[in-house]
A and B are shown apart, each in its own frame.
Chain A
Amino acid sequence: MSKDQTDIVRYGLQSFYGAFTALLSVLILSAAIGIVREAMTVFFVVAVYRKLSGGAHCSTLPGCLTVGTLIIILFAVIIKNAGPTVSGTFLWVTVPSVIAFIPAYFYAPADVPQKPISSSAQRTMLRRLSFLFIVLWFIMGAYLWAGQKMDLLYFYAAGNLGLLWQSFLLTPPGYRLIEQLSLLFRRRQNS
């Protein structure tokens, strides 16, 4: 294999390993406290929307794993407790999508130094896909709410938390927060 091919395969391996360990850590921790379905809903909404819109990233894998897993578990716990009360309300079904549209409009796709988006065609495509994701998410929520499908609205509420978190990570305060958390883990690695 040439050097370029080796670099590409290594990048593929790093991407796969990062996603796999993240999924595994969320799965194990959420299974331990009995919130697997809620946590997986948040995880997949964050993951899919993140692939399209970009956003802040930790610079180290341990930092990423810890912060990402704890945030998702926290959201799953919140939904487990507050979900049955809020998930069927019209405001909770509609407002998060509307809020998510604002950072998407101003910042999506948000890249990072490790992976700059230099092609304008790719930038336009990802921007459009981000908008499409939010619109489809909104339509799905409206459909579930109109049909009063309460069991599915519960998981939709969990996804809404993921959508809001990912939207926050597109903004400058989101980047600053992740940067601060990354520094914390880098210091620990160095000491």
Chain B
Amino acid sequence: MKKRILSLIAGLLTLVALSGAASACGAFLHQPELPQALRK
């Protein structure tokens, strides 16, 4: 159960990361460093 919840959270965060990579930048003034894996 714990493993399933963790993988669900990781999946949701991946979705957030992908939508962040597809947009021009972050919604607010702070922009974290885009990882190399998403720069390709």
Q: Which residues of A are at the interface with B, using a C-beta cutoff of 8 A? A: 1, 4-5, 7-16, 18-19, 22, 46-48, 50-58, 60-61, 63-65, 67-68, 108-112, 114-118, 122, 126, 130, 178
Q: Please tell me if the beta carbons of B17 and A11 are within 8 angstroms of each other in the complex.
A: yes
Q: Which residues of the other chain, B, contact A67 by a CB distance below 8 angstroms? A: 29
Given known A-B contacts A9-B10, A10-B35, A64 and B16 have beta carbons under 8 A apart: no
Q: Please tell me if the beta carbons of B13 and A12 are within 8 angstroms of each other in the complex.
A: yes
- Distance in angstroms between the alpha carbons of A60 and B33 in the assembled complex: 11
- B: number of interface residues (CB 8 Å): 28
> Which residue of chain A has the shortest Cβ distance to B37 in the bound complex?
A4
Q: Which residues of the other chain, A, contact B8 by a CB distance below 8 angstroms? A: none
In angstroms, how far is the closest chain A Cβ from the Cβ of B33? Answer: 5
Cross-chain pairs A/B with CB under 8 angstroms, 15 sampled: A7-B35, A7-B36, A7-B37, A8-B17, A8-B37, A11-B17, A15-B17, A16-B13, A51-B23, A51-B24, A51-B25, A55-B24, A57-B29, A64-B30, A114-B34
- Distance in angstroms between the alpha carbons of A109 and B37 in the assembled complex: 21
Q: Which residues of the other chain, B, contact A55 by a CB distance below 8 angstroms? A: 24-25
Q: Please tell me if the beta carbons of B14 and A9 are within 8 angstroms of each other in the complex.
A: yes
